[in-house]
């Protein structure tokens, strides 16, 4: 199978190298010709137009920087009769844009998968990137060898399940980061032994933060049973908000967490 690959930046170049190392034939396109030339030695067949890819490739992978670019490329891929059967979009988009792209592709009788990625350029280069895939399960099954050559893939169901999984994953991750920054500020105010507390928190994080998802949220997420907050966190969150105020810090994040927790009752 000849794979078309459009977008050979930090993520795309690593993914293409892994495809080539697994004996896939890849025809690549990028507006930056230096990126094309840099991958020729790895076996990439470069082209100077999207049109060439539409005639040579059945499956086309997009790894592009923004929705407008993806939209334009998809329109070009669909613009004429060609050999493309499946388009795979790897960007993280909104649910509405993913649905728009799927409708565009399927209206032309072709197949579409959206596969937002977990990981960065080092993961893409090492083959450790994880694809969260949404769309048809049959199309996913047909594409498993392709995803397996670039990393690992988890099928999430119909659009926009994978998109929402990626976005909520980042919400949870960066909420934890924001809380960590606020924690550091509070610890500084109290002249705490920050390295010792960091060691304790980092050791406990996998067990305790993992427990939130594996235990605390399990019934709500899997059977829709409402979460029941307990008294201890309410008290502790109130104490933390009072401490932040007493030390002249902006308690906005702590107050937001406390108010969210109270709203669960």
Reported as a single tens digit per residue, the pLDDT across 122-147 is 999 999 999 999 999 999 999 999 99
Phi, psi of 86 (to 5 degrees): -140, 135
Average the pLDDT over each of 21-30, 45-54, 118-127 and give the range with the smallest value.
45-54
Looking at every residue in the chain, the average pLDDT score rounds to 94
* CA–CA separation, 125 and 261 (whole Å): 40
- What pLDDT sits at residue 206? 84
Count CA atoms closer than 13 A to 164's CA, side-chain side: 9
Mean pLDDT of 54-61: 94
Question: Tell me, what's the pLDDT at 251?
Answer: 85
Judged against a pLDDT cut of 90, whether residue 192 lies above it is answered with yes
pLDDT tops 80 at residue 193: yes
Q: Which is nearest to 143 in space by CA: 17, 1, 44?
A: 1
**Residue 208 binned pLDDT confidence (cut-offs 50, 70, 90):** confident
126-140, 170-184, 210-224 — most confident range: 126-140
* Cβ 133 vs Cβ 162: under 8 Å: yes
Q: Pick the range with the lowest mean pLDDT from 2-11, 35-44, 108-117, 229-238.
A: 229-238
* Domains (range + CATH), the chain: 2-158 (3.40.50.720), 165-262 (1.10.1040)
pTM: 0.90
| pLDDT at 81 (0 to 100) | 82
How confident is residue 264, by pLDDT bands cut at 50, 70 and 90?
Answer: confident
pLDDT of residue 41: 95
Whether pLDDT at 265 is above 80: no
Distances (CA, A) of 202 to 1, 24, 180, 194, 205: 45, 41, 11, 12, 5
What's the average model confidence in pLDDT over 92-108?
A: 97
């Amino acid at each position: 199978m000849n794979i078309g690959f459009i977008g050979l930046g930090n993520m795309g170049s690593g993914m293409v190298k892994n495809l080539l190392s697994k004996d896939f034939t890849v025809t690549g396109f990028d507006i930056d010709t230096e990126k094309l030339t840099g991958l020729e030695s790895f076996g990439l067949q470069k082209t100077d137009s999207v049109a060439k890819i539409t005639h040579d490739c059945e499956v086309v992978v997009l790894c592009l920087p923004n929705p407008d670019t993806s939209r334009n490329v998809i329109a070009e891929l669909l613009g004429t009769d060609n050999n493309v059967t499946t388009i795979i979009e790897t960007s993280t988009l909104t649910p509405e844009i993913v649905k728009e792209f799927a409708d565009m592709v399927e209206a032309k009788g072709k197949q579409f998968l959206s596969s937002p990625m977990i990981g960065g350029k080092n993961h893409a280069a090492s083959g450790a990137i994880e694809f969260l895939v949404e769309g048809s399960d049959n199309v996913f099954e047909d594409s498993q060898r392709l995803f397996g050559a670039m990393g690992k893939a988890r099928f999430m169901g119909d659009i926009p399940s994978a998109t929402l999984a990626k976005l909520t994953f980042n919400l949870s991750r960066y909420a934890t980061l924001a809380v960590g920054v606020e924690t550091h500020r509070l610890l500084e105010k109290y002249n705490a032994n920050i390295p010792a507390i960091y060691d304790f928190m980092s050791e406990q994080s996998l067990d305790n933060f993992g427990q939130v998802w594996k235990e605390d949220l399990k019934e709500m997420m899997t059977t829709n049973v409402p979460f029941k907050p307990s008294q201890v966190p309410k008290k502790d969150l109130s104490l933390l908000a009072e401490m932040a105020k007493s030390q002249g810090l902006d308690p906005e994040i702590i107050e937001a967490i406390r108010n969210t927790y109270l709203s669960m009752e």
